[in-house]
């Protein structure tokens, strides 16, 4: 991939609808290709089961790459969450706001060129330059959910959807949340006819996390995803814009089943790198969990802590019980295009995941505890860990496999379809899919 290039197109589509089916990956392909609506798009368009995500394979990192065309080392969203040591996961802030993205996005460019944009629970779009925006954002601690959404999205648009469709939602509980999002998409297509519509559906990801990747619950979630896709396609047809609409269905990462959860910060506690100071925890070195990997943070200029933390992790690899596959130094992280401020990371073996909480046990056997769990956040280079992409409609070839591609290729492809020019990017438009 070559940076500092411009990609535009002749405007092959008037409307592009991007449907992110969170965690749709190549291991789902046999289930996907026989379902009525997904198989229709496959037959009428192009597909790949070899879409490579980014490091780490987390939702907010990947979705930001999708809309910028650059890797995390440039766009700046390097995790779902900023570093918040010792804050419980449920109480942590996320990278909710567009202001955290360091480069232009495809939706900003579309708005600047006079196109109408809409976003429905798309990550990192709080206060974004999206005309009709219901951002993915969650109240934490004592915040009010409705107020937070209205403040960070388009207030009138959000209020209208809530009044009309809020009865279908039960907080963030699935399948109700994705049912609500789908109805919101139908309403938005019919009333607003956006030129670019970004939709984030989460049901499949939740099912994998909660029940493992090979469960009947995952199959049921895939079938629900297909049904929702059919409802969106019907809305486009009913609105009379089918001939000028392109659909892009995309997964952002895969997941692996987890047999052992590892609480790696316990090892740093043992070495005094994490310690109690009165009622508070303090740290000289800290491992921020990415699920299938973890970032090692070290206090600035604390070379002693850095050396001791690395020594501790090397010993953990030698012990063989902590699920560490390897330690990434900056040279490897450069190859993975990881965030520029990250100097070290650890990669988990398949079957293991990392949690940053400090607990009594360092190694938890999931089956012994009756825990059904899968997760992501591993390196995108892991075998059998690619994502699925399906595209059909205006400007797209028919019944064609496009082979390997990368997440940075999505934004320039959208730009080409809409006749926009996206500058200074790492990706390329997916020429193989375009008529």
Sorted by where each begins, the domain ranges of the chain are 6-255+382-433, 257-375
Judged against a pLDDT cut of 90, whether residue 3 lies above it is answered with no
Number of helical H runs and strand E runs in the chain: 15, 22
Q: Residue 5 pLDDT > 70, yes or no?
A: no
The answer for residues whose C-beta is within 8 angstroms of residue 132's C-beta and 6 or more apart is 116, 117, 118, 119, 154, 157, 188, 192, 194
Give CA–CA dist 413/8, Å, rounded.
8
**pLDDT exceeds 80 at position 179:** yes
Helical segments of 69-171, H only:
72-75, 106-112, 145-152, 155-165
Report the DSSP pairing between strands 274-277 and 260-262. Answer: unpaired
pLDDT digits 0-9 by tens, 411-425:
999 999 999 999 999
What are the pLDDT digits (tens) for 201-230?
999 999 999 999 999 999 999 999 999 999
Residue 221: what are its φ and ψ, rounded to 5°?
A: -65, -40
Q: Are 254 and 376 in contact (CB under 8 A)?
A: yes
Residue with tokens 């659909």: 247
Q: What is the pLDDT of residue 142?
A: 85
* Residue 330 structure tokens: 């900056």
Q: Tell me, what's the pLDDT at 4?
A: 44
CA 280 distance to own-chain centroid: 33
pTM summary value: 0.96
Amino acid 146: pLDDT: 87
Does 389 score more than 70 pLDDT? yes
pLDDT at 435: 86
Q: List the one residue out of 293, 227, 242 whose CA is nearest residue 264.
A: 293
Q: If you average pLDDT over every residue of the chain, what do you get?
A: 95
Percent of the chain with pLDDT over 90: 93
Mean pLDDT of 186-193: 98
**Strand duo 344-348 + 324-328: pairing:** antiparallel
92-97: long-range pairs with CB below 8 Å, 24+: 92/140, 93/140, 94/60, 94/137, 94/138, 95/60, 95/64, 95/123, 95/124, 96/124, 96/126, 96/135, 96/136, 96/137, 96/138, 96/152, 97/124, 97/126, 97/127, 97/128, 97/152
Q: 254-312 pLDDT, tens per residue?
A: 999 999 999 999 999 999 999 999 999 999 999 999 999 999 999 999 999 999 999 99
* pLDDT tens-digit series, residues 30-89: 999 999 999 999 999 999 999 999 999 999 999 999 999 999 999 999 999 999 999 998
- CATH fit for domain 6-255+382-433, picks 3.40.720.10, 3.40.190.10, 3.10.20.30, 3.40.50.2000: 3.40.720.10
Condensed to tens digits (0 to 9), the pLDDT of residues 137-169 reads: 998 888 888 899 999 999 999 999 999 999 999
Tell which CATH architecture fits domain 257-375: 2-Layer Sandwich (3.30)
Q: Higher-confidence residue: 195 or 399? A: 195
Looking at residue 10, what is its pLDDT? Answer: 65
User: Is residue 217 exposed (0-12), middle (13-18) or buried (19+ Cβ within 10 Å)?
Assistant: middle
Confirm if 205 and 9 have CB atoms less than 8 A apart: no
Is the pLDDT assigned to residue 6 strictly greater than 50?
no
Distance CA 409, CA 418 (A): 15
Per-residue pLDDT, 141: 86
Which residues on neighbouring strands pair with residue 97, listed in sequence order?
A: 126
- Note the pLDDT of residue 1: 35
Token pair in block for residue 209:
């996390």
pLDDT at 318 > cutoff 50: yes
Contact 225, 24 (CB under 8 A): yes
Q: How many other CB atoms are there within 10 angstroms of residue 167's CB atom?
A: 10
Band of residue 11 on the pLDDT scale cut at 50, 70, 90: confident
């Amino acid at each position: 991939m070559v940076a500092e290039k411009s990609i535009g197109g002749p405007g092959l589509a008037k409307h592009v609808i991007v449907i992110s089916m969170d965690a749709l990956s190549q291991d789902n392909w046999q289930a996907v290709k026989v379902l009525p609506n997904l198989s229709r798009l496959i037959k009428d368009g192009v597909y790949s089961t070899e879409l490579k995500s980014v490091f780490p394979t987390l939702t907010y990192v990947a979705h930001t790459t999708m809309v910028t065309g650059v890797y995390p080392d440039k766009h700046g969203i390097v995790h779902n969450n900023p570093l918040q040591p010792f804050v419980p996961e449920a109480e942590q802030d996320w990278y909710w706001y567009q202001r955290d993205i360091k480069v232009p996005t495809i939706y900003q460019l579309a708005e600047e060129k006079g196109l109408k944009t809409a976003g429905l629970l798309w990550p990192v779009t709080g206060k974004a330059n999206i005309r009709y925006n219901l951002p993915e954002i969650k109240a934490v601690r004592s915040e009010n959910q409705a107020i937070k959404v209205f403040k960070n999205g388009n207030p009138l648009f959000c209020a209208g959807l809530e009044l009309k469709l809020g009865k279908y939602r039960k907080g963030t509980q699935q399948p109700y949340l994705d049912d609500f999002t789908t109805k919101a998409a139908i309403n938005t297509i019919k009333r607003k006819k956006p030129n670019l519509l970004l939709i984030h559906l989460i049901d499949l990801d939740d099912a994998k996390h909660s029940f493992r990747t090979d469960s009947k619950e995952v199959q049921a979630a895939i079938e629900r995803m297909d049904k929702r896709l059919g409802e969106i396609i019907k809305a486009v047809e009913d609105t009379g814009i089918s001939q000028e609409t392109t659909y892009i269905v995309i997964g952002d990462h895969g997941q692996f089943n987890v047999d052992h959860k590892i609480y790696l910060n316990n090892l740093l506690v043992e070495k005094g790198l994490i310690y109690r100071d009165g009622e508070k925890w303090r740290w000289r070195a800290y491992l921020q969990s990415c699920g299938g990997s973890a970032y090692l943070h070290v206090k600035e200029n604390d070379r002693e802590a850095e050396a001791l933390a690395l020594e501790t992790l090397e010993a953990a690899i030698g012990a063989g019980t902590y699920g560490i596959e390897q330690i990434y130094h900056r040279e490897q992280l450069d190859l993975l295009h990881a965030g520029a401020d990250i100097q070290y990371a650890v990669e988990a073996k398949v079957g293991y995941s990392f949690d940053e909480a400090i607990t009594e046990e360092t190694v938890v056997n999931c089956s012994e505890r009756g825990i059904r769990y899968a997760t992501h956040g591993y390196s995108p280079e892991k075998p059998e860990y690619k994502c699925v992409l399906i595209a059909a409609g205006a400007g797209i070839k028919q019944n064609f496999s496009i082979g390997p591609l990368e997440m940075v290729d999505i934004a320039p492809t959208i730009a080409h379809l809409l006749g926009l020019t996206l500058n200074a990017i790492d990706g390329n438009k997916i020429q193989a899919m375009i008529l």
